[in-house]
Each structure stands twice: as C-alpha cells, then as structure tokens.
C-alpha cells in the first residue's frame, strides 16, 4: 500500500486530534516493515509532535486518536486503563448467529504468556448468505481482541490473514474484489482530558467497505449508532 501524504482529520482541538486511519497503515514505526506510519504522517501534516494513545491494528481502518501533549496523553491513558473509553467496531464475518452477543475469553499477549481477562460484546446487524455483519464493543483492550474473540466463536473476520479462513478470504477477493480486513473502528467515546465533557468521534465507512456492504444489501444506515451510550466499564 502506498502511504497517503495526509490523513483525514475527524476531530481536532488544543489537546486531541483524531484521524481516519486507512487499512494497511501502521500506527508507528516498528508495527510494519514498509510504508510511512500514521504517527509520522500526522506529525508532518500538523508540523508538531503528536502522542499516540491507543492501538489500532495495521489492517483495521477507522478512528485513531492522538494527544497533542504528554499530559493529555496520560489522562486519556488513565481512562483506557480503567476501561472507560467506549469503542465501536464493524466486522464482517463468516457466520451469522444472533445468539452471539458476548465472548468472555481470556487472551495472552504472547502464545506462551499468561491469559488475561478479555470481554467483547457483539450484535448481529445483518446477514448475507452465510456471512454476518456484526457490531463489536470491546470491554477490555487486549491485543487483536476482536479478531481473536471472533475466531474463538467460529466467526472469523473476512480478510483476516492471521486468524481468519483462507477459503472465505479467497471468495471475497474473487467474487467481490475485496482485498482487506473487514474490520472498521467506527466510533470512540471518552471524556475530554481538559474539560471532562463527553467526546464522541466517528469515522465513516471507507469506500471499499461501503461498496462491499452495498453489494451485500447492507447499507451504511444499518451500521450507524442509534444512541450515544456512555463509555463502557469492566463488568
């Protein structure tokens, strides 16, 4: 993927800036072997230092938040560590079970590491043949949590080359010309680090994912949040 020279800014104030990260772009150097990372692109775009405050997989698109000072980054990190930041994702999976509403399955960072509590809530938004579009709301922040939880639930995400199924990835490449991970970070909700007021940032569906959902009969309207619920906490 050729890295863009500018990122779409979804929100900016004196303390925070949120961008719409494209699929295929790493957050910072060291998470990928090629391409200019989002951290560097945004730094050059704004002409100032920026501080990444959370993770977003290279293959995942959507809301990516940066702080504009070390103190703002610290305050957002406190919310993240307390599981007070609400995140909403959209995932297209092999499988369409309306009974899949929560996965409570511990995850280890490394294969031989100690599993730590991990919980994700799911909601089936629509289906096409044997595939389902899910809303995913992680209640904890483990590495690759949504992808690993959906694999655990036998609902691998389309386009996932690490945790998915090659045969279904090939079907979507050949049938629909879809060549990326079908996972999008559509929304983030938190308290503003300076004012304490609620802040909600949303990222529209990227064109390639919007086009796919349209072909499957799943319009963008069916994937929007109906309410701005308060940030989630551990349960």
The residue annotated as part of the active site, out of 13, 15, 44, 57, is 57
Closest by Cα among 171, 175, 188 to 64: 188
- Where would I find the H helices in the chain? 38-46, 70-81, 145-152, 166-176, 207-215
Closest by Cα among 18, 16, 6 to 204: 18
Fold of the domain built from segment(s) 8-223? Pseudouridine synthase (3.30.2350)
Per-residue tens of pLDDT for the chain, all 235 residues: 556 679 999 999 999 999 999 999 999 876 446 689 999 999 999 999 999 999 899 999 999 999 999 999 999 999 999 999 999 999 999 999 999 999 999 999 877 789 999 999 999 999 999 999 999 999 999 999 999 999 999 999 999 999 999 999 999 999 999 999 999 999 999 999 999 999 999 999 999 999 999 999 985 454 444 333 333 333 2
Closest by Cα among 235, 230, 234 to 86: 230
Residue 24 DSSP label: T
**Residue found by looking up tokens 């072909």 in the block:** 215
Supply the pLDDT for residue 113: 85
- Domain definitions of the chain by residue range: 8-223
pTM for the model: 0.90
Give the CA angle between residues 23, 206, 175 to the nearest 5°: 85
148 by Cβ neighbours in 10 Å (0-12 / 13-18 / 19+) ranks as buried
SS3 166: helix
Supply the pLDDT for residue 235: 26
Supply the pLDDT for residue 124: 96
Cβ(183)–Cβ(156) below 8 Å: no
Distance CA 189, CA 187 (A): 7
234 is an active site residue: no
Both tokens assigned to 209: 């994912």
SS3 186: strand
Both tokens assigned to 139: 């209640």
Closest by Cα among 154, 169, 147, 186 to 61: 186
CA atoms lying within 13 Å on the CB side of residue 198: 9
Distance CA 150, CA 152 (A): 5
Supply the pLDDT for residue 234: 31
């Amino acid at each position: 993927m050729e890295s863009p020279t500018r990122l779409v800014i979804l929100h900016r104030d004196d303390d925070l800036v949120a961008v719409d990260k494209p699929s295929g772009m790493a957050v910072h150097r060291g998470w990928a072997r090629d391409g200019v990372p989002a951290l560097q692109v945004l730094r050059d775009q704004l002409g100032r230092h920026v501080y990444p405050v959370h993770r977003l997989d290279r293959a995942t698109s959507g809301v990516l938040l940066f702080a504009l000072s070390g103190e703002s980054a610290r305050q957002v990190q406190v919310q993240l560590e307390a599981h007070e930041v609400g995140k909403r994702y959209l995932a297209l999976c092999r499988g369409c079970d309306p009974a899949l509403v929560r996965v409570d399955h511990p995850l280890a960072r490394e294969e031989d590491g100690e599993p730590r509590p991990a919980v994700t809530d799911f909601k089936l938004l629509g289906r096409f043949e044997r595939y389902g579009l899910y809303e995913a709301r992680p209640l904890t922040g483990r590495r690759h949590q949504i992808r690993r939880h959906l694999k655990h639930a036998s609902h691998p995400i389309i386009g996932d080359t690490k945790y998915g199924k090659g045969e279904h990835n090939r079907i979507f490449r050949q049938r629909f010309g879809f060549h990326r991970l079908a996972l999008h970070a559509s929304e983030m909700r938190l308290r503003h680090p300076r004012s304490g007021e609620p802040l909600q940032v949303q990222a529209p569906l990227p064109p390639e994912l919007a086009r796919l959902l349209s072909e499957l009969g799943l319009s963008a309207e069916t994937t929007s949040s109906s309410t701005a619920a308060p940030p989630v906490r551990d349960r």
